[in-house]
Structures are given as structure tokens and as C-alpha cells.
Amino acid sequence: MRFRPRSISITSGKGGTGKTTLTANLGVALGALGKDTTILDGDLAMANLAIVLGMHKCELSFLDALKGEAEVKDVIYRNYGIKVVPMGFRFEDAHEVLTKVKRERVEEAIKELLKQTEFLLIDGAAGIQDATIISIAAAREMIPVCNPTYTSLVDAYKIVRMANVLGSWTRGVVVNRTGRGADLSADEVEAFMSRALGSMPILSEIPEDTKVQEAELAGVPVVVYEPDCEASIAIGKLAKLVAGEANLPYVPYEERAVAETTSRLVRALTGRSI
């Protein structure tokens, strides 16, 4: 089957927004829609995507593939109907690999990864740091995640501005953990983002839900653990929105998309162009 791959970086301006949990569940929800989905852990310093998905025995990671010590197929794990590519757990390993890796090996690994998936979700690092820039620069699209608080909203604004500079398209923002105790309403969030950026709609409001915490403790995505809870329903609607290709500022044609995203990832990971 030939796919028309899309690469989407999911980022947040600060930690604690629930970004990784959202990324994992969004990936599983896309898989449930019949979309061939791969999640790549893009957090070089604090990689924990595999843990969120209950995957505690991943002996090989994407870093091993970049070092040439494993094939790409060997670092792709299948869980909950999707593919997961962990990054590894030691920052020292990531730093060593990325400073010594050969450009050709990065290009080969990324092309192989992209050509076997329809959606590549990159779980980026929180905050404005090198790993965040890498994940945004690597993707053609970016989804910022914030909480309904003033500080989180300002940080999300900074991330969107960074994405604009790096040439990554932001369709809208996801507001996570909405409900009682929120500093801002959805209308206030949207009004702020629109004033600051011209136009930035809210893609989804994910409500605060105790089932999310229960699912995390069980090591199971909440969309699997309790598919009918409020958070799961909201994530399912977001997946349907993301899966639709209306209003994309480009045509997701396979060869062009693979070439462009590969170039972005190689440049981001190695600091060198193809």
C-alpha cells in the first residue's frame, strides 16, 4: 500500500501539560480510525513515550538505528494498533550519537521510517530547547498543547512563533485539562491566540478526567482503558479532525512529503543539510 505521509510535531511550551499522554492517545485513536500511525519519541533528554504506552522492555531504540547497531525495523514496536519508535532513556547516549552520526545513516533511517507510515507523530520535548526545535523543524505540521492557564498560554504562543520561523504549519491549538479550576475559558484562550497571532483556533478541548490518571497508572492509553469517558471522546474527535486533510497548505503526496520531511529531520538531527 502506498501512503501519503504526514509528519506532525506535538509540542508544549512548558512541562506538565499532558502532551506525551495526549500524543500517545491521539496516535492510538488515529490507528482506530484505520490510519497507519507511527509515533516517534522526539524528547532526547526525557524520553518517556514508551512508558506512557506501558512498554517497559524496549531493548533497542531509534538511537541504536542511527548508530547503525540495529535495523530500523528492529526499533519499531507495535502496540495498541500503532507503531512506536522509542528514543532511549539516556541523554548522554543521544548526545553522543547525534554528534557522531553519519548523515547518510540518518537519511536512510528516516526515509525507511516515513515510507512505511501514513501519520508520523513526533512527541517533542517541552519548553524552548534544542530538542524542541529539533521536533518542530522535523515536521511539516505542529500541534501545540497548552493548559487553560495564563503562563501555559503565553508559552504556547512562543512555541507557535518558533514554528512559524521554522516553517512548520500550525492548524490550531489543543487546550488540555479544561474544566473546573481553569484560569481561562475557551473563548479567552482563542481570543488571546487570535489577537497575538492573527488567527489560531482551538482544535480541541480535552477535559480534566480522573480516568486519564487511572489509565496512566495501569500503563494503558485512556482511549483503550475507558473509551467512553469524556477525555477519550474528545481525543477521538481530535483524531478525526487531524485525519481530515481539508485546509492543508500543501498536498501530502508521498515522494515530495518524504523528501521534504527527511531533509528537515536530517538537518535538525545533525545540523547538516542533505
C-alpha cell at 8: 506532525
- Of 36-40, 66-70, 131-135, the one with minimum mean pLDDT is 131-135
Distance CA 110, CA 90 (A): 21
pLDDT at 116 over 70: yes
DSSP string, the chain: -----EEEEEE-SSTTS-HHHHHHHHHHHHHHTT--EEEEE--SSS--HHHHTT-------HHHHHTTSS-GGGG-EEETTEEEE---S-HHHHHHHHHH--HHHHHHHHHHHHTT-SEEEEEPPSSSSHHHHHHHHH-SEEEEEE-SSHHHHHHHHHHHHHHHHHT-EE--EEEEEESTT-SS-HHHHHHHHHHHHS---EEEEEE--HHHHHHHHHTS-HHHH-TTSHHHHHHHHHHHHHH--TT-SS---HHHHHHHHHHHHHHHHHS---
Q: What is the pLDDT of residue 149?
A: 92
pLDDT of residue 92: 55
What ranges do the domains of the chain cover?
6-270
Out of 3.40.30.10, 1.10.357.10, 3.30.360.10, 3.40.50.300, the CATH code matching 6-270 is: 3.40.50.300
Distance CA 228, CA 235 (A): 11
User: pTM (2 decimals)?
Assistant: 0.87
- DSSP lists the bridge partners of residue 144 as 11
For residue range 237-267, what is the model confidence (pLDDT) as tens digits? 999 999 986 667 666 645 666 666 667 666 6
> Would you call 187 exposed, middle or buried from its count of C-beta atoms within 10 A (0-12, 13-18, 19+)?
exposed
What is the structure's pLDDT at 200? 87
- Provide mean pLDDT across the span 133-143: 76
The torsion defined by the Cα of 244, 246, 247 and 250, in degrees rounded to 10, comes to 80
For cell 553519519, the residue is: 102
Answer with the residue of higher pLDDT: 228 or 90.
228
Closest by Cα among 249, 227, 107 to 164: 249
- pLDDT for 1: 47
Q: Beta strands 77-79 and 141-146: pairing type? A: unpaired
Mean predicted lDDT score pLDDT of the chain? 83
What is the rounded average pLDDT of the residues 28-54?
Answer: 87
The pLDDT-based confidence of 34 (bands split at 50, 70, 90) is very high
pLDDT in tens, 57-114: 888 988 888 778 899 999 999 999 999 999 865 555 655 666 666 667 777 777 788 8
